[in-house]
Chains A and B, each alone.
Chain A
Amino acid sequence: MELRGAKLKQQRNKRAIETGHNRTMVAGAVFAVLFLVLAGRVVDLSMFNGHQEPRLVTTETATEIETTRANIVDRNGILLATSLPTDSLFVDSKAFMETGEDATMAARKLASILPELSLNRAAQKLSSGKRFEYLVRNLTPEQKYRVNMLGIPGLHFQREERRTYPQGPLAAHVLGYTDVDGRGISGVEKSFDQQLLGPDGTLQLSLDVRVQAVMRSALMEAIDEFKAIGGAGLVMDIETGELLCLVSLPDFDPNDPNTIKGDAGFNRASKGVYEMGSIFKLLNTAMALDSGVVNIKDKFDATKPLKVGRFRINDFHGQNRVLTVPEVLVYSSNIGSAQIALEAGSDLQRDYLGRFGLLNTASIEIPEVGAPLLPDVWRKASTMTISYGHGIAVSPLQLTSAIGAVANGGILRQPTLLKTNAESRLPGQRVIREDVSDQMRKLMRLVVLQGSGKKANSEFYRVGGKTGTADKQQGGRYNRRARISSFAGVFPIENPKYAVLAMVDEPVGNKKTFGYATAGWVAAPIIKKVVDRIGPMLGLTPSNVEEQVYQPGDPLFITVKG
């Protein structure tokens, strides 16, 4: 019995142990599987990046602050337009009133910091009971600090962004401006609105603020001196078409929309079209020489006025003799130019003006572009007057690139406001032959040395160009009192790099100029000032090659009267 009982007990024990063993095995297996899963997950996470687990390093880093509108910089990276965070002050009137403060006192304190705040309205807003009401928008950081120091309850700031132009009015007509919501309204702000709103949309212009400032101040001085109503100035790189400056005066401060009124918002350099006067004689001569209708040795009789219908074409600097082609240009003879144009004929003239880009609207990256005014019917009289820049109105911008083409070897470059590089540059179009361009450079130099452009002669950088004085048309008639005085030229003439143009609108002669308000007195000195100053800035070495003096017998010799 004893034995059987022991055996039974043993068997029971054995079974129990087996059961325990089995259970442990099962549990162990389950845990092993679970641990395997965990291990697999760990490997997955650490080595294969897991599922879309965010990586802390990238989620938290902040590389750039967010501005809604990108910067605009000049060709050297100087900031021209940027968006700055500002704070607007608003009041939670409910919270303010709950504290039981005196609204009039609080308003008085605020008004001492914020002059634009009116006492009554501020007190009204403070006690209106509304949860949100603007008090003043766009505070300066100092104002914000002082308002905070007042410790008035219920006042809060709202972050906003404001377009700022650190250089003020300097490049106003190029940049344009934006409305309160930061949308471009004019200038490159408008034409590049999309790019500026996109990521990494920084816009680099071809402008050079230094050149822009020099041209602007020179023009301003001239406008002051001659009591003119406005002016325009351009400097263009004639190898690339990049505009180093584009000035139109009067201008405005894009930071302050109140200054954009009437004439100040009008871009004379690209939108205004004017009869530019004798500068066209350069194009006329270039056309005649390039097409071969006139030879440099040809002579034209300028002894008596030309009659066309009821018009009479007269010379301003009358020589009353027979003039050679260079003399027609140097003495700015309307009679001679008209005769040259007649030799060429209307079709050829129109063809060449078209090639110089003067018959179409200029292509430039701002919306303010003016279309040229052309004669409805290209009559013989039109051909004659257009030869000396009357009866056709073009923008100073167009004329600058045309003069550039005359001097740079005969290639017309499209003017651009964006900094270009060799790849993005558009190929130019040939307008005149290279040898004609060479000859034109010599003629342009002669005008400055011996003609009406003497005052444009820089001591260090040789300038070549042509003056242009034209009476303005008012109501279909020419007004002898209101004129446009301009000078267009290139420098340095031995290897021209830049085309410059200065235009002054309605100058009035003064004592210093003996009452003259012609381009030689008004516009030419601007060019000298500008060239003298921007030459060293642009790293040009002064002209040092001996200048050629033409002897009698040379076709380029200019006979002086008397």
Chain B
Amino acid sequence: MTRLTIALTAFLALALSIGVFRITYQVDELEKELHSLNKEILDEQETIHILKAEWSYLNDPARLESLAKRYLNLEEMKGGQLINLDQLDKKLLIPQDPNTKPAKLEQ
């Protein structure tokens, strides 16, 4: 009985200490990983921050305008291209003559 207890205790002590050591090392490992991941996140965030600034720089309206003029076959949007929903039928049913301008007030 005594022997069995001693053997069991010794075994438990050994097993537990091995377990504790393993866990300690695992935690160390994980901590390192966490640290490097955090550093990576920071780096990525910094990159995103810089890219956002660059995005804003590239989206400078004046630059976009000159690029659009050079490479796109598009024109500036005109007020006439916008209509209300309640005007939809009127405008669409009567095709507008592109040559006529909206009536001006007579002086």
- The segment from A397-405, A429-437, A479-487, A534-542 that touches chain B is A534-542
Contact with A along B44-70 (1 / 0, CB 8 A): 011001101111110111100100000
- Are A65 and B45 in contact, with the CB atoms below 8 A? yes
- Are A541 and B84 in contact, with the CB atoms below 8 A? yes
Partner of A167, one of B57, B83, B87, B107: B57
- Looking at B35, B42, B61, B76, the one whose CB has the most chain A CB atoms below 10 A away is B61
- Are B79 and A460 in contact, with the CB atoms below 8 A? yes
Residue in A closest to B79 when the chains form the complex, CB atoms = A460
Partner of A78, one of B49, B56, B101: B56
- Are B61 and A536 in contact, with the CB atoms below 8 A? no
> Contacts A78-B59, A166-B60 hold; do A65 and B53 have CB atoms under 8 A apart?
no
Tell me, yes or no, whether B73 is within 8 Å of chain A by CB: no
- Are B62 and A84 in contact, with the CB atoms below 8 A? no
Tell me, yes or no, whether A226 is within 8 Å of chain B by CB: no
Q: Which residues of A contact B55 (CB under 8 A)?
A: 79, 166
Residue in A closest to B38 when the chains form the complex, CB atoms = A62
Q: Which residues of B contact A541 (CB under 8 A)?
A: 82-84
Residue in A closest to B78 when the chains form the complex, CB atoms = A460
- Are A449 and B79 in contact, with the CB atoms below 8 A? no
A209 vs B63: C-alpha distance when bound (angstroms) = 12
Q: How far is the CB of B3 from chain A (nearest CB, A)?
A: 16
- Are A549 and B61 in contact, with the CB atoms below 8 A? no
Q: How far is the CB of B68 from chain A (nearest CB, A)?
A: 13
Tell me, yes or no, whether A200 is within 8 Å of chain B by CB: no
- Are A544 and B87 in contact, with the CB atoms below 8 A? yes
Tell me, yes or no, whether B80 is within 8 Å of chain A by CB: yes
- Are A166 and B80 in contact, with the CB atoms below 8 A? no
Residue in B closest to A64 when the chains form the complex, CB atoms = B45
Tell me, yes or no, whether A532 is within 8 Å of chain B by CB: yes
Tell me, yes or no, whether B14 is within 8 Å of chain A by CB: no
Tell me, yes or no, whether A383 is within 8 Å of chain B by CB: no
Chain A interface extent, by class: 35 or more
- Are B79 and A450 in contact, with the CB atoms below 8 A? no
A78 vs B62: C-alpha distance when bound (angstroms) = 15
A392 vs B55: C-alpha distance when bound (angstroms) = 45
How many B residues touch A, CB cutoff 8 Å? 36
Q: Which residues of B contact A56 (CB under 8 A)?
A: 31, 34
Q: Which residues of A contact B77 (CB under 8 A)?
A: 533, 536-537
A210 vs B76: C-alpha distance when bound (angstroms) = 13
- Are A209 and B61 in contact, with the CB atoms below 8 A? yes
- Are A549 and B106 in contact, with the CB atoms below 8 A? yes
Residue in A closest to B58 when the chains form the complex, CB atoms = A166
Q: How far is the CB of B31 from chain A (nearest CB, A)?
A: 7
Q: How far is the CB of B99 from chain A (nearest CB, A)?
A: 14
A170 vs B61: C-alpha distance when bound (angstroms) = 9
- Are B38 and A85 in contact, with the CB atoms below 8 A? no
- Are A65 and B46 in contact, with the CB atoms below 8 A? yes
Q: How far is the CB of A457 from chain B (nearest CB, A)?
A: 8
- Are A170 and B52 in contact, with the CB atoms below 8 A? no
Residue in B closest to A458 when the chains form the complex, CB atoms = B79
Partner of B82, one of A64, A85, A542: A542
Q: Which residues of B contact A360 (CB under 8 A)?
A: none
A376 vs B46: C-alpha distance when bound (angstroms) = 57
Residue in A closest to B90 when the chains form the complex, CB atoms = A544
A547 vs B102: C-alpha distance when bound (angstroms) = 11
22 contacts between A and B (CB under 8 A): A56-B31, A56-B34, A62-B38, A62-B45, A65-B49, A166-B54, A166-B60, A167-B56, A210-B61, A216-B62, A217-B62, A459-B79, A459-B102, A460-B78, A532-B76, A532-B79, A536-B78, A540-B79, A541-B84, A542-B82, A558-B107, A560-B107
List the 7 shortest-distance A-B pairs measured between CB atoms, nearest first: A460-B79, A213-B61, A166-B56, A166-B57, A79-B56, A542-B79, A536-B77
What residues make up the interface of B, taking CB atoms closer than 8 Å to A? 31, 34-35, 38, 41-42, 45-46, 49-50, 52-57, 59-62, 65, 76-84, 87, 101-102, 105-107
What residues make up the interface of A, taking CB atoms closer than 8 Å to B? 56, 60-62, 64-65, 67, 78-80, 82, 84-85, 164, 166-168, 170, 209-210, 212-214, 216-217, 449-450, 458-461, 532-533, 535-537, 540-542, 544, 547, 549, 558, 560
* Additional A-B contact list (17), CB under 8 Å, known A449-B105, A460-B79, A544-B87: A62-B38, A62-B41, A62-B42, A82-B49, A82-B52, A82-B56, A84-B53, A85-B50, A166-B57, A170-B61, A209-B61, A213-B61, A460-B80, A532-B78, A533-B77, A535-B79, A544-B84
